Amino acid sequence: MQVMKNNRIENTDPNHTWVLEESGKGFKVKNAYHQRYVPLLTTAPQPVHLSDNGGVYTFTLNADQETWKIKGTNGVCWDGLGSGALVGWNDPGHPYQLYTYFVQPYFEVYIKAVTTTGELLSAQKVLVKAGDSYQLTTTQIPGYVLKEVQGGEALSRIVTHTQVQIIYEDENHVGIETIQPDAVQKKGIYDLYGRKLQRIGQKGIYIINGQKVLVK
Alpha helices in 8-78 (DSSP H): none
The DSSP secondary-structure symbol of 170 reads E
Q: What is the pLDDT of residues 190-202, one digit of tens each?
A: 877 677 887 777 7
- Length of the chain counted residue by residue: 216
d(CA 48, CA 31): 13
Amino acid at 50: L
Dihedral of CA 66/67/71/75: which sign? negative
d(CA 129, CA 51): 26
Contacts of 63 by beta carbon, 8 Å cutoff, 6+ apart: none
d(CA 171, CA 186): 23
**What is the band of 122 on the pLDDT scale with cuts at 50, 70, 90?**
very high
Q: What is the pLDDT of residues 95-118, one digit of tens each?
A: 998 888 888 899 999 999 999 889
Contact 195, 143 (CB under 8 A): no
pTM of the model: 0.68
Contact 18, 32 (CB under 8 A): yes
For residue 193, the model assigns a pLDDT of: 64
Q: What is the pLDDT of residues 51-87, one digit of tens each?
A: 998 999 999 999 999 999 999 999 999 998 877 788 8
Residue 28: closest CA among 7, 58, 2: 58
d(CA 139, CA 202): 10
For residue 186, the model assigns a pLDDT of: 57
Higher pLDDT, 34 or 47: 34
* CATH number, domain 14-89, options 3.40.50.11900, 3.40.190.10, 2.80.10.50, 3.40.50.10440: 2.80.10.50
